Structure 1
Amino acid sequence: MSPRPRIASVTMASAAALGLIVSLGVTPIANAEPCEGAAAQAQPLPNQAFEIPSPSRISPLNRPIGHKPAGANDQAALPKLGLLPSILKALTPPPQPGQVRQQAGVVPTTPKPAPVAKPVEPAPAPAAAPPSGPPGTSLVGWVTGPDSPNQTIQRFAITGTDLGIMWDNGDPTNHQVLMAFGDTNGYCGIPNKQWRYNALFRSSDGALSNTVAVPDGVVGNKYSGSPVWRQGISKQIINTIGQAPDETGIIPTAGVAVGGNQLLNFMSIRDWNSPGSWSTNFSAIAVSQDNGENWGVYPGTIRPPTGGNENFQMGAFLKPGPGDPYLYSFGTPNGRGGSAYIARVAPNLVPDLSKYEYWNGDSGAWVPANPAAATPVIPGPVSEMSAQYNTYLRQYLALYGNGSNDIVMRTSPTPQGPWGPEQLLVPQSQIPGGIYAPFLHPWSTGRELYYNLSLWSAYNVMLMKTILP
């Protein structure tokens, strides 16, 4: 076993000399525009009229269509808070028989504009009986956007964003949930709309009665509500590492805390293609030693989309139940059409891909250092997945979007399966506008499940609640 690598003592100057840099880098150009309704009317306070520096090339100001669910209605009305009656009706069939009630070096973190492809709508899915599911799902409240009690426009210069990947920071001195977001817009009236590749929130809120409450961001305060460039504007946390000639997005897909460090799996986007489809340059793991305030990238974790690594371009970390010493990492290919695969690694060896083992269902064994040996553990389509061990079910639980753009869950006695049938949580027909990316709250491991969910027509994130039977 190699000694545990360290970066704690690497200063900015010495890191630059060694090629182990954590830096702000060049801020990307604007290519997202949820600037409609209340978001379009929002005006910055005088001290928030901050234009983010950007390269000279300016891209079309439109949403990044790669995350758009096929068939999403951009003009759909926003859902109302509280229990969704039609969902309640859809989710009350009788239960089915048998239904289960470190450190390596880091590198620095200037993209080109993404071509805007004409959306291609898929063929209608064949009619099928809806899966059974829990008895009640409700929309708790908006996490981001003009309708959020977090006032993310005024406090963080965030009018629109998506994803909201949540994980426990593992810090006993200041226990928090961290939330990573994808493409992020600021004030619509400022040039380039203060667009950022990604952003981060922090929260100690365990009540979740209205939403995930986020305190103010404070410059240089690693426990404040968000890493900020200056008061009132969240900063981009993961920047380009210069490993791809064409890069139009740096999108987080999973987060986890290990040994006092925050780890964030992300994908480097080459092209946003048609709705539900995109291509990547690679995936990799970023690391922060200061609770998400500053980030670098483990160069040894870069996975180009070849040699089996094409199935690990998007991720979902899973901390196991009692007695299991591994950290698990689900993987899916680009876009929303692929199956889910799984790897495991000792937590202190995350930066070393040669130490990972991949589940091969054909042989029923874990295969070391060979991602091409991985076989599907959940058949596709699986999109934007999250997973955790559930103490109420005493089972592993996975949430994702299926081929009909519904939000579903599966359960399993082990991380590698066998995974049970899909259970419907949120039908896409009941929240029109394109729902995607159900990311579980790490503190809701019992009967009441809380999870973030993105809505394309609002281009913002809402907190959902499902009560398990």
Structure 2
Amino acid sequence: MKPNIVKLSLAFLLAAPLFSAAQQLGNLKNVLKPVNVIRVARLTGNSLPGEDLPNANETVKKYDIGGTDLGIAWRMGNGKTGFWFGDTYGADWKPTPEGGPGPAGHWRSNVVGISTDEHLGDGVTFDHMVAKEIIPSPHITDGTGNHTTIPTAAIHANGKDYVHYMEVRKWGPPGTWTTNKSGLYKSADNALTWTECKTVEFSGSSNFAQAAYEKKDGYVYMMGTVSGRQGAIHLSRVKERDMEDKSAYDYWNGVKWLRNQETSATPIIPAPAGELSLAWHQRYKRWVVVYLDEKRHELVLRSAASITGPWTEAQSLVKSADYPALYGGFIHPSSTNGSELYFLMSMWHPYNVFLMKADLKLE
């Protein structure tokens, strides 16, 4: 994928639901702020000259993975943590001045890593990887078909593991791309094999072309954006048991949930937003979303007591001035119980994935 206290616009305020003064005050008094951000370890690829980060996975040697990105983490049904990666290239991949994949072989649109490692202070060690392409793509690169199939979110629900993916038609200028559609794949054997859920599909122009998942109280909540990194964030939900029934999805219109009315969803967080990651933080009893704000050139964090908002102003998490061409920002599910937030961050120029850590302060 290509890189690159509440003050909202009047238009957004008019589109948002009306909240009581007590709700607004409570939100302002409970702002999660990330501080003391560090890079903990490298997850994928070879270490670069002079790099002293832990690099336990040896993905080049073990899995023929020299370059990859994303690292969308989710808690699997067996208690392990799964990681979805995007466009993946082989051992011959080398970093280039322009960044990204470059000329390399063994292109796979997506692969999965699986881990039982819960001690994140020195990185994440994979038990193994499913290092073949799981969501298939014919890799038609002339802009007329299916260029690649990129995972955007994953969740365990209804006894299965699910991944939301987008079928990319063509890449545009940095931060923009066109999708043919988005959909779901599922696994009933702990991420070893996957099959398509043909009953759930979103169009290329949908506000849920890209997604983030979290589950709570029997529902799977889905945040979504249009293709690329320029759109606002919208909200949907579905009962876990109905994950594969698109007619059972509810959409938040700013006032109430509407069943099976996808176009009724209105923004809950203003643009621009890309590569979303959503979590319910059990310690702070707040929703947390992390995403790339390409206008600010930062990964940012917002929090809210209610999934429908109001959401706090974006808090700076990681700046591209410190980590050039950063993107991603996917929360590790093991870090929602304490005051340390671990997340997976991609960098375009080394085109690989790193584990990051931030301390959280509730102010």
TM-score normalized by the length of structure 1: 0.66
Amino acid aligned to 1:177: T
Contact 1:100/1:393 (<8 A) preserved: no
1:252-293, CA deviations, whole angstroms, 9 ceiling, x for partnerless residues? 000001132110000000001111110000000100111111
Offset of residue 404 of structure 1:
1.9
C-alpha deviation, 1:69, in angstroms: 2.1
Listed as ranges, the gaps of 5+ residues in structure 1 are 1-66, 71-95, 102-132, 216-224, 228-233
- Contact 2:212 / 2:223 at 8 angstroms: preserved in 1? yes
What's the CA shift for 1:192?
5.6
Query: Counterpart in 2 of 1:444?
Result: 335
* Alignment of structure 1 residues 109-148 onto 2, 5 Å: 133-147=33-47, 148=55
Q: Following TM superposition, by how much is the alpha carbon of 1:405 offset from its aligned partner in structure 2, in angstroms?
A: 2.2
Alpha-carbon distance in structure 2 between the residues aligned to 1:238 and 1:449: 29
Q: What is the match of residue 129 of structure 2?
A: 226
Residues in 1 aligned to 2:321 and 2:122: alpha-carbon distance in whole angstroms: 24
Aligned to 1:68: 2
**Whole-angstrom distance in 1 between the partners of 2:110 and 2:297:** 24
Deviation by residue 1:5-60 (Cα, 9 ceiling, x = unmatched): xxxxxxxxxxxxxxxxxxxxxxxxxxxxxxxxxxxxxxxxxxxxxxxxxxxxxxxx
Distance 1:180 1:187 in 2: 19
**1:202 pairs with 2:105:** no
Secondary structure of 1:348 counterpart: helix
Post-superposition Cα deviations, 1:318-349, rounded to whole Å, max 9, x if no partner, equal: 112xxx22111111111000000010001111
Q: With the length of structure 2 as denominator, give the TM-score of the two structures.
A: 0.84
Q: Pick from 183, 198, 201 the counterpart of residue 299 of structure 1.
A: 198
| 1:348 corresponds to 2:241 | yes
Q: Secondary structure at the match of 2:121?
A: coil
- 1:263 correspondence with 2:162: yes
2:134 pairs with 237, 240, 264, which one?
237
2:223 maps to 1:290: no
- Match for residue 105 of structure 2 among 186, 193, 202: 193
Distance in 1 between the 2:326 and 2:292 partners? 8
User: In the aligned structure 1, how far is the partner of 2:306 from the partner of 2:314?
Assistant: 16
Q: Could you tell me which of 175, 178, 182 is aligned with 2:86?
A: 182
Structure 2 residue corresponding to 1:253, chosen from 145, 152, 159: 152
1:366 counterpart residue number: 257
Deviation at 1:386, TM superposition (A): 0.3
- Tell me how far apart the structure 1 counterparts of residues 28 and 196 of structure 2 sit (CA, whole Å): 47
Match of 2:209 in 1: 313
Which residue identity is paired with 1:202?
Answer: I
Whole-angstrom distance in 1 between the partners of 2:41 and 2:195 = 33
- Quick check: which has more Rg, 1 or 2? 1
CA distance 1:301–1:335, change in 2 (3 Å)? same
Q: Which amino acid aligns with 2:285?
A: R
Tell me which of 98, 101, 104 is aligned to 2:29. 98
Other-structure match for 1:429: 321
Q: Which has the higher strand share?
A: 2
Q: Which residue does 1:157 correspond to in 2?
A: 64
Q: Deviations over 1:363-417 (max 9, x none)?
A: x100110111000011010110101111222100000011222011000111121
| Cα distance between partner residues in 2 of 1:447 and 1:346 | 29
Which whole-Å CA distance do the structure 2 matches of 1:444 and 1:176 have between them? Answer: 14
- Superposed CA offset, 1:182-237 (max 9, x none): 0000121899611101000000000012211112xxxxxxxxx112xxxxxx2111
Q: Distance in 2 between matches of 1:400 and 1:271?
A: 22
8 Å contact from structure 2 (residues 67, 93) kept in 1: no
For residue 240 of structure 1, report the CA deviation from its aligned partner. 3.9
